[in-house]
Amino acid sequence: MLQHGTQLGGKRLRPALLLLSGIAVGSLGPDHIVLGSVVEMVHTATLIHDDVLDEAETRRHVATINARWNEHTSILVGDYLFAQSFRLAATLSSTEACRMVGEAARLVCEGELRQVLARDVLNISEEDYFAMIRGKTAELCRVACELGAKYSGGTEATVEAMGCYGDSLGVAFQIADDFLDLWGDDSTVGKTLGTDIGQGKMTLPLIRLRETVPAPQWNEICKILTGPVDDRLAGAMPFLQKSDARLYTQRVAESFKERAIRSLDCLPESEAKRSLVKLAQFSVDRRF
């Protein structure tokens, strides 16, 4: 089951961030390898539980654990991975990594809880939206970069700058995810489009739409967003296309990408730094 679970993750973004941050700041040691595994395990645990929440059948063209086995198994395999990741973090010499990973995992759950409780709440603010995605996506990217820098002997200022890079990249990455759910190509994205809108999740394009259309038109859109699940994407799309929601979402994602790249100013030039810049660009420009 765990072997199957490892196929569900795709990009290995978080360990890549951790290792590249470590190389960009100093040099890698065995602790970086352990911590890269720890953050990916925490992430995989949350993906497995997400697939239960979303009743997803496939992820990245592979059957989810709930589809291949059942929900019970998914919940327990996710719990197993959580426990194992903490046990692994505790093999390092100090409690610092345990504290940082534990706190990040707690904030990921908090972000996801906020999102579940905000389902079908169409009037959530942009601020609420950012609080949710900071927790559910950016937090683990932030802590990956911080750990990478810290375990390479980075100064407090450098660790903080790398944390800011990870946070901004994570936010940009999630906005791009929300963008792809509406305007992606389902054969390259690897999951069904319109999932967010079907689940009553208000993402940035919809919030922008709400903020820019006249009230009577928004009432009409609300009926679509709370109507039959399968009609929502097609129903809302003409309104989205007429608005500036697509352009606005891209612009906001770009601004977080720029912020991420600026956070790297404190680092000397290196191949690792250039890779981090490319990762920030990829987080926004990707098609999957």
Q: At closest approach, how far in Å is the CB of 236 from a copy of itself?
A: 23
Nearer to a copy of itself, 46 or 249 (CB): 46
| 25 versus 105: smaller Cβ distance to a copy of itself | 105
Could you say whether residue 76 binds a copy of itself (CB under 8 A)?
yes
- The answer to whether 61 contacts a copy of itself (rule: CB under 8 A) is no
**Nearest approach, Cβ of 129 to a copy of itself (angstroms)?**
18
x/- map, 78-97, a copy of itself, by CB under 8 A: xxx-xxx-xxxxxxxxxx--
User: What's the N-to-C CA distance of the chain in angstroms?
Assistant: 25
From 45-53, 60-68, 185-193, 249-257, give the range in contact with a copy of itself by CB under 8 A. 45-53
Pick one of 10, 29, 116, 247: the residue that binds a copy of itself (CB under 8 A): 116
Work out whether 109 is an interface residue with a copy of itself (CB under 8 A).
yes
The values of phi and psi at residue 37, to 5°, are: -65, -40
240 within 8 A of 182, measured Cβ to Cβ: yes
Given the rule CB under 8 A, which residues bind a copy of itself? 1, 45-46, 49, 52-53, 70-73, 75-80, 82-84, 86-95, 98-99, 101-103, 105-106, 108-110, 112-113, 116-117
